[in-house]
Amino acid sequence: MSGISRRELLERGAAGGLVLSGLGGLAGCGIGRGLQGDTDRVIEPKVDGDLYYFNYSQYINPALVRAFEEKYDVRVIQSYFDSMEGMIAKLRAGNSYDVMFPTAEYVQRLVQEEQLLRIPRDKLENIDNIYSYFDDPWYDPDSAHSVPYSLYITGIGYRADILDNMTGSWNDLANPEADGRIFVLDDYQEALAAGNLRNGYDMNTVVESELAATQDWLVGLKPLLRGFSVDTITNMASGNAWIQHLWNGDIVNIRYRVDDPDAYQFQKITQDGFPVGSDTFVIPVNAEHPGTAMLFIDFMLDPKNAARNVTWNGYPMPNRGQDETFEELAKGDPNIVVTVDDLEGGEQFANLPQEERELWTNTFLEVKAS
């Protein structure tokens, strides 16, 4: 794309006040184009500077970040996003990060857009611990640009001390006994997925009549809802939520925060099906310190570190080094375990083309704005 970068535009605008007068001339130019760089750049796992890290907040054990800083005598400069879209917006704005954590479908998209460096897997000492499912995953052939970080399923967290009528269906989001204490995830993909699965449609459906039915179901839920929110841990730990649409690892974190952990249970939606996904480590094409990023990824794959990480954040890693630890963690609640069978049999979010994606975001917007 023969675009004008934002900086250039700014300079010109400042110099000549062109911005308003020159609108016509700008037609067709990109605003914040993608990152430029050589995706085949050779990376060596050695310290080449401080690590610029970009992740969801509270998604990695901070003690491990400190341990990494000490081991390699580097600083880890952390920034956070709260959604994949937010992550993309920051990247588009030209920020440079060394390691970040997109979901599988976003890896697919970033690979297609040539935004990721190739990761030389043979230079990662601990790569053999990774489950073989990820040798050639659907989103990144041969795992050339990504290393899997964690596995998750979406389900429903509920108060077992109060509710005794959960059914294992997404209909539980309309449980009348929790009237006014139910939260649906404020996430267009998750909210529509729950409705689509509940209605027996393909989770990624783009059939308008089906999405309309899902929209009706969600709108019908609203009188029972307390809100749409991704602040799942606070909602449940504060007692505001008796039923919370959430991800499996959240329940582990909620239990760390409350006096009576057994009262907080995770329900796998076995009746209708559930979304399953994986997050990854990737190195953006404009990373300035990819060597340190390689060391960081390898450090996190180390079995001992992986075990420490899953205990802290509650999400299993597809890494044999943490298997025993996670089993121990999930003893009271086997529902939070995610297996390769879940990945193969479960529903994964697809990368929808722009128009279809707009259909999804607009459907959810209409639910919330109505």
Q: With CB under 8 A as the contact rule, which of the stretches 203-211, 271-279, 288-296, 350-358 interacts with other proteins?
A: 350-358
- Residue 356 lies near other proteins (rule: CB under 8 A): no
**Alpha-carbon distance 214 to 211, whole Å?**
5
User: What would the x/- binding string for other proteins be over residues 242 to 281, using CB under 8 A?
Assistant: ----------------------------------------
| Stretch of 95-103, 197-205, 235-243, 315-323 lying at the interface with other proteins (CB under 8 A) | 235-243
First CA to last CA across the chain, in angstroms?
Answer: 38
Among 228, 247, 264, 296, binds other proteins (CB under 8 A): 228
CB atoms within 10 A of CB 136: 11
Structure-token pair, residue 37 = 């760089």
Determine if 67 is a binding residue for other proteins (CB under 8 A): no
Q: How far is the CB of 158 from other proteins (least distance, A)?
A: 15
Q: Quick check: 152 and 248 in contact, CB under 8 A?
A: yes
- C-alpha 47/C-alpha 270 separation (Å) is 46
Distances in Å between the alpha carbon of 102 and those of 30, 37, 292, 329? Answer: 23, 19, 19, 25
Q: Is 349 in the site for other proteins (CB under 8 A)?
A: no
240 touches other proteins by CB under 8 A: yes
Structure tokens at 323: 């298997």
Segment contacting other proteins (CB under 8 A): 129-137, 237-245, 274-282, 307-315?
A: 237-245
Minimum CB distance to other proteins smaller for 149 or for 364: 364
Residue 68, classed as helix, strand or coil, is helix
User: Is residue 16 involved in binding other proteins (CB under 8 A)?
Assistant: no
In 122-189, at which residue ranges do the beta strands (DSSP E only) sit?
Answer: 147-159, 182-184
Q: How far apart are CA 109 and CA 88, in angstroms?
A: 11
Select from 49, 54, 160 the least CA-distant residue to 116.
54
Which parts of 169-208 interact with other proteins (CB under 8 A)? 180-181, 188
Task: Give the x/- contact pattern for other proteins in 288-307, rule: CB under 8 A.
Answer: --------------------
**Three-state secondary structure call for residue 39:** coil
Query: Does position 365 bind other proteins by CB under 8 A?
Result: yes
Burial class of 179 by CB neighbour count within 10 A (0 to 12, 13 to 18, 19+): middle
Quick check: 361 binds other proteins (CB under 8 A)?
Answer: yes
CB of 279 to other proteins, least distance (A): 18
Q: Give CA–CA dist 208/89, Å, rounded.
A: 28
Cα separation, 109 vs 101, whole angstroms: 13
Give the shortest CB-136-to-other proteins separation in angstroms: 25
Q: Is 226 in the site for other proteins (CB under 8 A)?
A: yes
CB of 208 to other proteins, least distance (A): 16
Residue 245 identity: H
Q: Which of 210, 231, 302, 342 binds other proteins (CB under 8 A)?
A: 231
- Tokens representing 17? 């006040």
Q: Structure tokens of 341?
A: 């069978």
Binds other proteins (CB under 8 A): choice among 24, 70, 132, 209: 24
- Stretch binding other proteins (CB under 8 A), from 2-10, 47-55, 243-251, 276-284: 2-10
Q: Residue 369, interface with other proteins (CB under 8 A)?
A: yes
CA gyration radius, the chain: 22
Residues that bind other proteins (CB under 8 A): 1, 3, 6, 9-10, 13-14, 19-20, 23-24, 26-34, 83, 85-86, 88-89, 92, 113, 180-181, 188, 222, 225-228, 231, 234, 238-240, 353-354, 357-358, 361-362, 364-366, 368-370
